[in-house]
């Protein structure tokens, strides 16, 4: 059968997963009366809640006499590791661009990777039904982007389609015709994307996506480069250096048919399949016939830029809400995650009670923590830190720099530029982006961006959109001022009392509610001044037997600051931790005892 392998790449929220929905529906993959969830490819709970794609996934549709394998990829730069690997197993890419927003940083990042691999892209201008759509200008921006990324003549001669994935149509002009549905896109894929290149020789395949299945064990998805694979065939696994990882037998071969997987009796070169039966082979390894000695070349992956310590929860409330609390359980879970996610690096600390986890950004690490707490884990995590490097030639300290694109209303641009310059960012470009909005481009140190998202939304009344992308390493930019306010710390253990909290309101806003469990050293609020203050939130009203005519004043508390996981990670300082359990997110000091805190501070000052 004729085959085509295509990846759909775009910036977050430009409509990739919705486009895949329409392709599946209009190719006759589903029955007429079949009930299908919206964004069918986003199968994970967190993906559905947040409306973002986190894991790359494959599906397959049949159009006329050709099978088209489609890979849906994430749009967030934090999950870029997923996209970099996927490009090895496809022969074409649909570059999806929003008709109003134009190409954004993640579009640039993914397109540069696709062009390097030599893919010939198809550009799809999506959302032309938006009232602020400007398709002609966006096409010019896409062409400039391709030229800036050193695209070849062939790649610059890309075909263009316009349409709306939500309304379910594509056409060669923004006006339509709209009655053909997705047919023009299918026909263009068959014409423009080359059939898979098949090499001569025995079976070889590079692993691209890894997942665990409760029945089949480890499942590795990839594209077969050469040869034929059958169930029960003996294979071996080589890593990137050519060393043998393991030998074993393939128990099952699964091919994608629509969203489902169906077992195959034989898989041919060029097809994207999932194989089960091996216990150690992982992503970027070569799965091959026992006679093969040389592994297939794999794409190098960009390095992680942000790291965090995952520490065993040692607070007085440890073990009361979660069932997975030991260091061994946390360690095994993190190592399992690092196997399937090549953009993560996990290293055990010397004290054996904590693990150092490095990734692409706070969002990637926050998603990992959120997934773990839903599985029943309890742990403490430190503030995100950037991964510094030493320049071998000069010995200077280098830090990661990100390209930041902020779309903002003109009236708020002044405060954004001021806040970004405080965070040691350089303004590279400022241009109008339509509708009284400006597009600001900065090069900013990753350190300065930790925790800035919330502040940006407050400064711009929720109208700004920030997108970030790793740019490179540059010399260390010096000290950046962190949080300006101190915190309110509980000095006793028990349940918070409304009367005590009411009396303490002038000290600063609270982060807890009456009846919540607190302990010594736990952060319960934000101080109005720049120093930390210990307070007692357990103190009840002294009751006497003297009757008075004055009624008790009704205790009306100001609503507390609600701390989400991302907000908490951005808020804490270096001497604080976030305690994460399946039911709660608490902030605490690293040293719960006040005397230990003072000692740690003195020793820090002595070192400085």
Output the pLDDT for position 46: 64
Could you list the residues known to form a binding site, using ranges: 13-18, 126-129
Angle at 537 between CA 533 and CA 540, to 5 degrees: 140
Structural domains of the chain ordered from first start: 2-192 (3.40.50.300), 204-288 (2.40.30.10), 389-475 (3.30.70.240), 487-578+586-607 (2.40.50.250)
How far apart are alpha carbons 608 and 601 in whole angstroms? 11
How far apart are alpha carbons 167 and 258 in whole angstroms? 21
Output the pLDDT for position 585: 92
Q: What is the 3-state secondary structure (H, E, C) of 215-252?
A: CCEEEEEEEEEECEECCCCEEEEECCCCCEEEEEECCE
575 upstream amide cis, omega within 30 of 0: no
Q: Are 353 and 311 in contact (CB under 8 A)?
A: yes
Output the pLDDT for position 33: 47
| 254-267 burial code (b ≥16 CB/10 A, e <16) | bbbebbebeebeeb
Output the pLDDT for position 605: 82
β partners of residue 442: 404, 427
pLDDT by residue (tens digit) across 96-114?
898 888 888 777 878 888 8
Output the pLDDT for position 38: 47
Closest CA to 579 of 372, 386, 385, 382: 382
DSSP 284-332: TPEEE-TT--SPPP-PPPPPP-EEEEEEE--STTTTSS-SB-SHHHHHH
Could you list the residues known to form a binding site for GTP, using ranges: 13-18, 126-129
Write out residues in the chain with pLDDT < 50, as ranges: 31-33, 35-36, 38-40
Residue 263: left if φ>0, alpha if ψ -120 to 50, beta else—which one? beta
Output the six-digit token pair for 143: 């062409």
Beta strands 160-164; 169-171: pairing state? antiparallel
- Residue 464: is it exposed, middle or buried by C-beta count within 10 angstroms (0-12/13-18/19+)? buried
Tell me how far apart the terminal alpha carbons of the chain are, to the nearest angstrom: 69
Closest CA to 334 of 347, 319, 317: 347
Closest CA to 330 of 311, 345, 316, 344: 311
pTM, rounded to two decimals:
0.77
pLDDT by residue (tens digit) across 31-80?
444 544 544 455 556 665 666 666 667 788 888 888 888 887 776 666 66
């Amino acid at each position: 059968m004729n085959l085509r392998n295509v990846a759909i790449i775009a910036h977050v929220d430009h409509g990739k997963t919705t486009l895949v929905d329409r392709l599946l529906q209009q190719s006759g993959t589903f029955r007429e009366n079949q009930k299908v969830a919206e964004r069918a490819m986003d199968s994970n709970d967190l993906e559905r809640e947040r409306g973002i794609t986190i894991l790359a996934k494959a599906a397959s549709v049949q159009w006329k006499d050709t099978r088209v394998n489609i890979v849906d990829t994430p749009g967030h730069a934090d999950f870029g590791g997923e996209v970099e690997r996927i490009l090895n197993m496809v022969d074409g890419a649909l570059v999806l661009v929003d008709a109003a927003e134009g190409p954004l940083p993640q579009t640039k990042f993914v397109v540069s990777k696709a062009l390097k691999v030599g893919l010939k892209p198809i550009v799809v201008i999506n959302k032309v039904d938006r009232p602020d759509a400007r398709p002609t200008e966006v096409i010019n921006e896409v062409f400039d982007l391709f030229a800036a990324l050193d695209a070849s003549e062939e790649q610059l001669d890309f075909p263009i389609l316009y349409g709306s994935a939500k309304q379910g149509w594509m056409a060669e002009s923004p006006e339509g015709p709209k009655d053909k549905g997705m047919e023009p896109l299918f026909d263009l894929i068959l014409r423009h994307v080359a059939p898979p290149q098949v090499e001569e020789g025995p079976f070889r395949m590079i692993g691209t996506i890894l997942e665990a299945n409760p029945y089949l064990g480890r499942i590795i998805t990839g594209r077969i480069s050469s040869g034929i694979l059958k169930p029960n065939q003996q294979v071996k696994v080589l890593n990137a250096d050519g060393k043998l990882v393991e030998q074993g037998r393939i128990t099952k071969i699964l091919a994608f048919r629509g969203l489902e997987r169906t077992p195959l009796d034989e898989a041919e070169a060029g097809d994207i399949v999932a194989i089960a039966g091996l216990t150690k082979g992982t992503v970027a390894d070569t799965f091959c016939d026992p006679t093969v000695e040389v592994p297939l070349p794999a794409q190098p992956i960009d390095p992680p830029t942000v790291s965090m310590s995952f520490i065993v929860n040692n607070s007085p409330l440890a073990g009361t809400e979660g069932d997975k609390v030991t260091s061994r359980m946390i360690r095994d879970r993190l190592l399992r995650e690092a196997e399937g996610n090549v953009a993560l690096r996990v290293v055990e600390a010397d004290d054996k009670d904590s693990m150092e986890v490095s990734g692409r950004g706070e969002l990637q690490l926050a998603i990992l923590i959120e997934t773990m707490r839903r599985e029943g884990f309890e742990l403490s995590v430190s503030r995100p830190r950037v991964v510094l490097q030493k320049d071998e030639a000069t010995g200077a300290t280098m830090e990661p720099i990100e390209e930041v694109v902020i779309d903002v209303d003109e009236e708020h641009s002044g405060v954004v530029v001021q806040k970004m310059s405080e965070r040691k960012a350089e303004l590279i470009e400022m241009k109008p982006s339509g509708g009284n909005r400006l597009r600001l481009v900065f090069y900013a140190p990753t350190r300065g961006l930790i925790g800035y998202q919330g502040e940006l939304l407050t400064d711009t009344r929720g109208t700004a959109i920030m997108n970030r992308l790793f740019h490179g390493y540059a010399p260390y930019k010096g000290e950046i001022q962190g949080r300006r306010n101190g915190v309110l710390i509980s000095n006793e253990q028990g349940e918070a009392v409304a009367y005590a909290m009411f009396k303490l309101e002038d000290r600063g806003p609270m982060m807890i509610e009456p009846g919540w469990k607190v302990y010594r050293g736990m952060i319960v609020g934000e101080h109005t001044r720049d120093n930390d203050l210990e307070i007692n939130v357990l103190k009840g009203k002294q009751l006497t037997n003297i009757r008075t005519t004055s009624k008790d004043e009704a205790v009306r508390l100001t609503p507390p600051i609600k701390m989400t996981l991302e907000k908490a990670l951005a808020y804490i300082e270096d001497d604080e931790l976030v305690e994460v359990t399946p039911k709660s997110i608490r902030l605490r000091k690293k040293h719960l005892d006040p005397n230990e805190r003072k000692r740690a501070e003195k020793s820090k000052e002595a070192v400085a």
